[in-house]
Amino acid sequence: MPQNLSIAIIDSDRETREAIESLILPYGDKVRLVGAAGDFSEGYRLIQANNPSVVILGVTHLDVGVDQVQHIAAHFPATSVFVATTEKNPDWILRLMRSGACEYFLKPVVKTELFEAFRKVAKNLAPLANGPVTQRQGKIVSVYNPVGGVGTTTIAVNLAATLAAANDNVALVDFNLFCGDVASFLDIDPKYTLSSVTNNVNRLDAEFLRASMTRHGSGIYLLSEPLDVEETLSITAEQITQVLTFLKSAFSYVVIDTGGPLFGANLITFRASDHLLFNTVLTLPALKNVRRYLAALENKGIARSSVKIVVNRYLPKADIKIGDAENVLGTKVFATVPNEYGAVIDSINKGVPVVNLYPRSPVTAAIAKLVSQLNA
């Protein structure tokens, strides 16, 4: 049972107010009702006077409700807003949650659901009262190449699918914010994206995070890139940092597909990563580019020990050998993934990772070996 929570109710429907009051009042020693109001003006004065832990807000008109939630969230950021309504419309849920609500209840409010929400609020407040707590921390594995066309997304998708085969708590995140392909590789049309999370980052919990992700048949939880460029431009460095922190605490493994220059989200991600897999192919231009970026990563404070070279589309009889690549790069190659063009293209066209579509493929064996090396 949650303790020391203060609750305010704002709802124009008297029966709803009284019903919620009847749920709360028997637990007055642990959940304190500071008052109930029939209109928003009166209710807002109640909030100003008591600064409650939770406001339960009745919503009958969507636009009005969005404005009211935003107003409370902006002026009382420590207060959690629960919305109560008769509307089941997904657009209502999305807009109200994006505006700042952290719970959405259908009327009549069910006691078990309400008190479970209270427990979550109390849990989030506990670290503030009791000091820092130790949380389970998953591993972040970033897969990177600054330019496209070398199979970086293929490596990320199949790495995540291999991890998910042995662990049902694996996230795959597309941080190619302007030109991500992960959803296409998995034949997913996501309802929510990274921007759905960043717009609500101050009210995130594990339940909301997972609800914003899409579960693939392979077991992967996908968080895809924003659908619109405008949404991408509004994402801040602080939001990326907070999302990474939540992902790491919510999942055993977080695989992140990245690309592009060394600034912004990429640098934040690499600094938070346990492993940075730098993907390349065995061509001289590609290797020279990797060498330049390895030096730049070191200059940016990314430890060389966390950066691991993965050679994709590897052909043992190619003109450039692994030893040649290591001489050019000045570092050892961590892993190789063989060139299986037909299997990879087939998997992309079908929206199924190679490791699931072709379990006996050399690519599947190579990715399994890569996972073993990362876990060693």
Find the CATH number of the domain harbouring 126: 3.40.50.2300
What is the domain range of residue 72? 5-130
Closest CA to 150 of 54, 287, 14: 287
Whether residue 156 sits in one domain with residue 120: no
Instruction: Compute the CA torsion angle 112, 117, 118, 122 (nearest 10 deg).
Output: 140
Whether residue 286 sits in one domain with residue 148: yes
CA distance 29 to 18: 19
Whether residue 175 sits in one domain with residue 125: no
Whether residue 37 sits in one domain with residue 146: no
What is residue 152's predicted lDDT score, i.e. its pLDDT? 95
Whether residue 99 sits in one domain with residue 119: yes
CA distance 113 to 105: 8
Whether residue 334 sits in one domain with residue 243: yes
Reported pTM: 0.65
Whether residue 362 sits in one domain with residue 231: yes
What is residue 128's predicted lDDT score, i.e. its pLDDT? 36
What is residue 125's predicted lDDT score, i.e. its pLDDT? 56
pLDDT per residue, tens digit, the chain (376 aa), is 445 789 999 999 999 999 999 999 888 777 889 999 999 999 999 999 998 989 999 999 999 999 998 888 767 767 889 999 999 888 898 788 777 787 889 999 999 989 988 887 776 555 434 443 345 578 999 999 998 889 999 999 999 999 998 888 899 999 988 788 899 999 988 888 888 888 877 777 777 788 788 888 888 999 988 877 777 777 888 888 888 988 998 899 999 999 988 888 889 999 999 999 999 999 999 999 999 999 999 988 888 888 999 999 999 988 999 999 999 999 999 999 999 999 999 999 999 999 999 999 999 999 999 999 998 7
Helix axes 62-75, 40-50, angle to 10 degrees: 20
Question: Of 107, 130, 153, which residue constitutes the final position of a domain?
Answer: 130
Whether residue 180 sits in one domain with residue 60: no
Whether residue 96 sits in one domain with residue 146: no
Is 226:235 a contact under the CB 8 Å cutoff? yes
Whether residue 189 sits in one domain with residue 91: no
Closest CA to 232 of 274, 204, 260, 255: 260
Q: How many domains, in total, are found in the chain? A: 2
Q: Which residue has the tokens 């070398």?
A: 150
Question: Of 130, 155, 175, which residue constitutes the final position of a domain?
Answer: 130
Helix (H) or strand (E) holding 189: none
- CA distances from residue 201 to 178, 197, 243 in whole angstroms, order as listed: 20, 6, 7
What CATH number did the domain enclosing 176 receive? 3.40.50.300
Whether residue 80 sits in one domain with residue 146: no
Is 325:282 a contact under the CB 8 Å cutoff? yes
What is residue 171's predicted lDDT score, i.e. its pLDDT? 96
Question: Of 112, 130, 148, which residue constitutes the final position of a domain?
Answer: 130
Cβ count near 314 (within 10 Å): 19
Whether residue 170 sits in one domain with residue 61: no
